[in-house]
Structure 1
């Protein structure tokens, strides 16, 4: 079979530019046009299609030359060549079922002769492959390029629909259908908007614009809970302070342990945790000892009381099978004097308070907690206790934000609901910026919101109005109002929570001086089939739990609209579908981010 038998196009680029990402985005778009698509990828490393532990994986690693897996819907053939030879595109094409495929996409094989679309991201600093490769017929870039050579077509990398349409017309030779839909501008219904930022890009730009607060204050131990340490904590003592018993039993010298037969020992005294045995234990004797009591002089071993027999008030019997040094905690075994036990940048948790109290630490140096002022905007919003007029709703976002901010140990100021009036908004923004390190609002940053909100923000500071490639939570404003950081969140309740937890929370923790924040993400099996278009990272509200076999499974809480607060209240995690994800089958592995860790 030749490359001319079926329409074929290669996707070429420098490594790390996003070839696989584009292909996985194009596949569902092309399938939606009725095309059966095959993908050929050139690998420069060992190929491992199967998962460790699967039967076919075990067959192959055991040395089988060919492994064939056949099921009702899937057929797979894995075979190894005895000699390592460079594979050609022609040999790969011979494996394609010509009768079942309408289009072949190729990743790699950059030196082969076939029409190619080059991916180019100027920000990565790599040169164009065109015109050195005459097979390149189009360049898909995230920036407009100034090309003298007009032989190639420029495509917008952020609009995969146009790239798919180019392939249909130029490669498959299919005429474009007459459009019946109206699309006057990008919207949240698109898989991804051309100007949108990825979640990672938004987080990186925010972090680069933030300088952590370094104001240091002294705080008593209890009040330091939830605050961030400004300096390392060094242990002033050994823990345990003395070599002591780990058991209730009898302390003795290891040399007195019986080796071959049961032995009698006399009891020379008793040692308690608060009342040690002050003199040396006589040879051939033992000391009755309680857990935590310092080891008496002349002893180095404890036999637990359950392994002894009390003959009378002054004598015990001990059998064989014991080791010298057993059941003894050495001085400094847990913490050595001078050891660093907690490092600067750590947010203190309850266990830390107990640890510090055990060392006698009564006061700590911590960073001042950021002061965060927040309010909601919208004429339709009413505070709790006010009557609801027609078309109005109670403001839930302020209560959600209050809870999330307090959980972070921040100094929180609630400024209420501000009407969509220029003077009121300007006064609220100015007051918030002058009294806080951070200003957070909900509402007023989406398409269609009152234009004067953005004009006021532009007058008072330097604000960027972003579109983030996440769902829910597409619109976001970030910048500075005077000296204060500003975060403008969307108005939909669930979108507020998602944007806060995924974007704002890491930024606030960094501002507070925390250095080790990393949300926990764990794998689980999806209990259901999930539809998704590539282009945006989606955060589905979900419930994860153990299945009868002990593994983790996860299912959504139901309807996932950005205004359905019940979906968040019922959930205990986010089910995360990455940008490239094109849908999930029941039983597939997915990412889960628990709400509580």
Structure 2
């Protein structure tokens, strides 16, 4: 039976998008930098702008396999006389001079000979028994020629400070001969779980014990976000070990991230320890799952202190809190531009009671087989149920006090946008 305790309305909760913006605004980008090779650069954040060291393309070159010629010589080819092939220009050849009245056999990427002003695709050319070319159709000046510098000129900005280095941007740098880049150092995140009931996966389990899934999940997510993880393990539900762990994190990490113990029960010690060692910017967000999310700091001065993100103990709530709140904070600390959330209207393929007092993020799969995408529940929606979270394509966000009606349209947030 569902006790519906998750529907209890808690006063004073911060709206989801307000909490998200507060986290982004509070992030202080890292100052430390390092130089890495392109092989080490994917997923890193540029610390220095990169300008083009050369024109791209470096010379006029052919956009396809074909024949390079002067447009003025084209009538001879059209009137049946044809044009003799006087040169062969493969990719990697030097720049040649095209002889008057002839054409050059040319290949994609090869330098266009000086004097040629058009490249004819080989599909539009036939050869006679003399080896002369005959052309079908009309020609236009400059057709199928990539002009020197048409993409970038020497000195143009290639990538700005704060750019996230994707495989495509790595390729761009490599195309200019750049082998090393200066990037922000990795963000150091101290990670711990709290709970006397938690044991490591693979350990012998007694009744009442729970395998620690949160730390395994968050280590993977932090690694995916290019963070250096300082794993502090599982900390007992007691103030003394929490104080020690927080002290270790405060001196070793840029950020402390913990899960569990952040609610308001008698065995939830995280909040009072935070308040003793620093303070809270906010505690409690009007979202389901993820309500107990807290953001605080360790140290006397909030502006110079170590930021702390306290995620809920229920694993799905922890995952949602990471994706929607902690991840943009991490990106902002890394010096990345925080991307706007991708959101699309999608119809619900089900009906259910709406959330009370806070927005709800339903884990859904999307079926487009009928032509129009329809979202259906991925499985059980409890904040402890990882099966649906592992199978979901995204979240259907239901506003507070809004019923879910089959066929009605709601905001859909694809999960793949949180992958980096």
Q: Provide TM-score, normalisation by structure 2.
A: 0.92
Query: Whole-Å Cα distance in 2 between the matches of residues 391 and 474 of structure 1?
Result: 24
For residue 396 of structure 1, report the CA deviation from its aligned partner.
0.4
Counterpart check, 1:588 vs 2:412: no
Give 1:251 deviation, angstroms.
0.5
Q: Distance in 2 between matches of 1:393 and 1:534?
A: 30
The correspondence for 1:412, drawn from 224, 229, 244, is: 229
Separation in structure 2 between the aligned mates of residue 277 and residue 487 of structure 1, nearest angstrom: 60
Distance, in Å, in 2 between the alignment partners of 1:340 and 1:203 is 31
- Post-superposition offset of 1:345: 1.4
Q: Distance in 2 between matches of 1:277 and 1:239?
A: 16
Give the paired residue count. Answer: 407
Aligned counterparts of 1:335 and 1:407: Cα–Cα separation in 2:
32
Aligned to 2:220, which of 403, 424, 444? 403
The structure with the largest alpha-carbon Rg is 1
Secondary structure, counterpart of 1:401 in structure 2: helix
> Which structure has the higher relative contact order (CA within 8 Å, separation 6+)?
2
The Cα of 1:539 is off from its aligned counterpart by 0.8
Distance 2:285 2:117 in 1: 65
Measured after TM superposition, the shift of residue 233 of structure 1 is 1.6
Could you give the per-residue CA deviations for residues 259-289 of structure 1, whole angstroms, max 9, x where no partner exists? 86444101111111112463x2222210111
Which aligned pairs between 1:138-537 and structure 2 lie closer than 5 A? 188-190=6-8, 192-258=9-75, 261-276=79-94, 278=96, 280-312=97-129, 314-450=131-267, 452-464=269-281, 466-482=283-299, 483-537=305-359
Following TM superposition, by how much is the alpha carbon of 1:313 offset from its aligned partner in structure 2, in angstroms? 6.2
Rate the CA distance shift 1:507–1:516 in 2: closer, same or farther, 3 A. closer
3-state SS of the aligned residue for 1:590? strand
Shift of 1:462: 1.7
Distance 1:327 1:565, change over 3 A: same
Structure 1 residue runs of 5 or longer lacking an equivalent are 1-186
Please, which moves more after superposition, 569-578 or 252-261? 252-261
Q: 1:300 to 1:433 in 2, by over 3 A?
A: same
Q: Deviation per CA, 1:336-387: give whole Å up to 9, x if none.
A: 2222122211211111111110011112121122100101110101112221
CA distance in 2, matches of 1:436, 1:322: 64
Distance 1:380 1:344 in 2: 45
Aligned partner of residue 284 in structure 1, secondary structure:
coil
CA–CA distance in structure 2, aligned partners of residues 518 and 409 of structure 1:
20
> Unpaired segments of 5 or more residues in structure 2?
300-304
Q: Secondary structure at the match of 1:222?
A: helix
Conserved 8 A contact 1:239-1:332: yes
CA contact (8 A) 1:576 1:592 kept: yes
The root-mean-square deviation of aligned C-alpha atoms, in Å, is 1.8
Tell me the distance in 2 between the aligned counterparts of 1:585 and 1:328: 56
The question of whether the paired residues in 2 share the 8 Å contact of 1:575 and 1:593 is answered with: yes
Q: Is the contact made by 1:544 and 1:554 (CA closer than 8 Å) also made in structure 2?
A: yes
Note closer, same or farther for the CA distance 1:596–1:332 as it changes in structure 2 (3 Å cut).
same
Greater alpha carbon shift after TM alignment, 234-243 vs 527-536: 527-536
The range that moved more, 346-355 or 511-520, is: 511-520
Please tell me whether the aligned partners of residues 269 and 277 of structure 1 are also in contact (alpha carbons under 8 angstroms).
no
The DSSP-based 3-state class of the residue aligned with 1:257 is: helix
Alignment of structure 1 residues 70-85 onto 2, 5 Å: none
Match of 1:121 in 2: none
Give distance in 2, aligned partners of 1:277 and 1:476. Answer: 64
Q: Deviations over 1:516-544 (max 9, x none)?
A: 42221122221222320452111111112
What is the deviation of 1:298? 1.1
Question: Is 1:561 aligned with 2:360?
Answer: no
* Segment of structure 1 superposing worse, 206-215 or 370-379: 206-215
Give the distance between the partners of 1:440 and 1:216, measured in 2 at CA: 23
Quote the offset at 1:464 in angstroms: 4.5
SS in 2 for 1:299: coil
Distance 1:435 1:294, change over 3 A: same
- The one-character-per-residue Cα deviations of 1:196-238 (angstroms, maximum 9, x if unpaired) are 1111222233233322212232222221211111232211111
Query: Contact 1:270–1:277 at 8 Å: present in 2 too?
Result: no
TM-aligned CA distance change 1:281 to 1:204, over 3 Å: closer
**Candidates 541, 545, 566, aligned match of 2:363:** 541
